[in-house]
Homo-oligomer: A and B are copies of this chain.
Amino acid sequence: MTFPVVGMVGGGQLARMTHEAGIPLGIRFKLLSDTPQDSAAQVVHEVVVGDYRDLDTLRDFARGCDVITFDHEHVPTEHLRALEADGIPVRPGPDALVHAQDKGVMRERLAGIGVPCPRHRIVSDPRDVAAFAAEGDGFPVVLKTVRGGYDGKGVWVVDSAEEAAEPFRAGVPVLAEEKVDFVRELAANVVRSPHGQAVAYPVVESRQVDGVCDTVIAPAPALDEEQALRAEEMALRIAKELGVVGHLAVELFQTRDGRVLVNELAMRPHNSGHWTMDGAITSQFANHVRAVLDLPLGDPRPRAPWTVMVNVLGGDYPDMYSAYLHCMARDPQLKIHMYGKDVKPGRKVGHVNTYGDDLDDVLERARHAAGYLRGTITE
């Protein structure tokens, strides 16, 4: 057997779905998981339970793996360099991944290659925030810790210098950004392999609720074809310039005055690409695996005119399984993806995909199912 061993660091749902996509390739999949109960640890055969922040644990895990990839961006950069020095391919590599780990580094680099970003600057204290505001259109200003934030955590929107104290308490550098006057959020998902092949998925619209992704529509409705193409090209260029290997999600703001600005980068399969599991010829997970193994990439084109993904968040009652009866009977075409996670209010515990010719119908079906699973719709 010459089939390779892919080592996945992190046991969340992205690892779970990457394993699912890797099974047909006949590869071996090894998981480094925080706990034996993690989402992916429930469904993967070879699970090592350990702390990815510990270099010895990482090194032990990486031994015998042909490549290491990630469920999240939290592995310390210096650990990744150590693995590379040991001769283990790390994909994406530390030089690329740092742009998804550190928003300050990301902004500097994107500005350096001419990618349109919101106005931004590293700020040192609330007075500096006030100065940043005064240089532009004033408050509100968005403040972000450069490391450690996700799903709206580590992000503040402040209306005055007085409100700007909290972000500085963590002792992490803080990035100030203009609050972009956007009409909607988009995402451009691309996948790139070590030898430089890259594919772009159609640009999607991503709708957030309370800072958490709620709905993704593929392709983004009523997006100018030229603008969609420019966004795809921009994501491909970022992947190339930053040397990304694997999946890259570029979260975008579409502004009222028609520009497209980069919000965030993620270098792993991404919530805005979950629709591809049922809606694209090759899913983001399958292409991520192919990319980290330097295999030719699969066709990223959609299989249906419209695909909609809606996240299933934890609600007030914990028994989502009983909701399957209603959801599956109501919509035999519905695609449910649950992550094996305990239900906690607001926690992403799954998503649903629907697809078809009529966007209103596709949207309604996905929203109904996600709402029923969560318990906010009961009829």
| A interface with B by C-beta (< 8 Å) | 1-4, 16-17, 19-20, 23-26, 28-29, 41-45, 47, 281-282, 290, 295-299, 303, 318-322, 324-325, 328-329, 332-340, 342, 350
A28 to chain B, nearest CB (A): 7
Taking a contact as CB atoms closer than 8 A, the residue among B19, B282, B299, B336 that contacts A43 in the complex is B19
CB distance from A316 to the nearest CB of B (A): 15
Q: Which of B45, B281, B298, B325 contacts A296 (CB 8 A)?
A: B325
In the assembled complex, the Cα of A336 lies from the Cα of B337 at a distance in Å of 22
Which of A24, A296, A303 has the most C-beta atoms of chain B within 10 angstroms of its own C-beta? A24
Please report the C-alpha to C-alpha distance between residue A23 and residue B41 in the assembled complex, in whole angstroms. Answer: 12
In the complex, 21 of the A-B residue pairs with CB atoms within 8 angstroms, ordered by the A residue number, are A1-B318, A1-B342, A3-B321, A3-B340, A4-B321, A19-B43, A24-B337, A24-B338, A26-B338, A28-B42, A41-B45, A43-B44, A44-B45, A45-B47, A281-B332, A296-B329, A297-B328, A298-B328, A298-B332, A298-B333, A299-B332
When all copies of this chain in the complex are counted, the total is 2
Cβ of B44 and Cβ of A296 under 8 Å apart? no
A279 to chain B, nearest CB (A): 11
B43 touches A23 (CB 8 A): yes
Chain B residue at minimal CB-CB distance from A324:
B295
CA separation between A1 and B319, bound complex, in Å?
Answer: 7
* Residues of chain B lying within 8 A (CB to CB) of residue A295: 324-325, 328
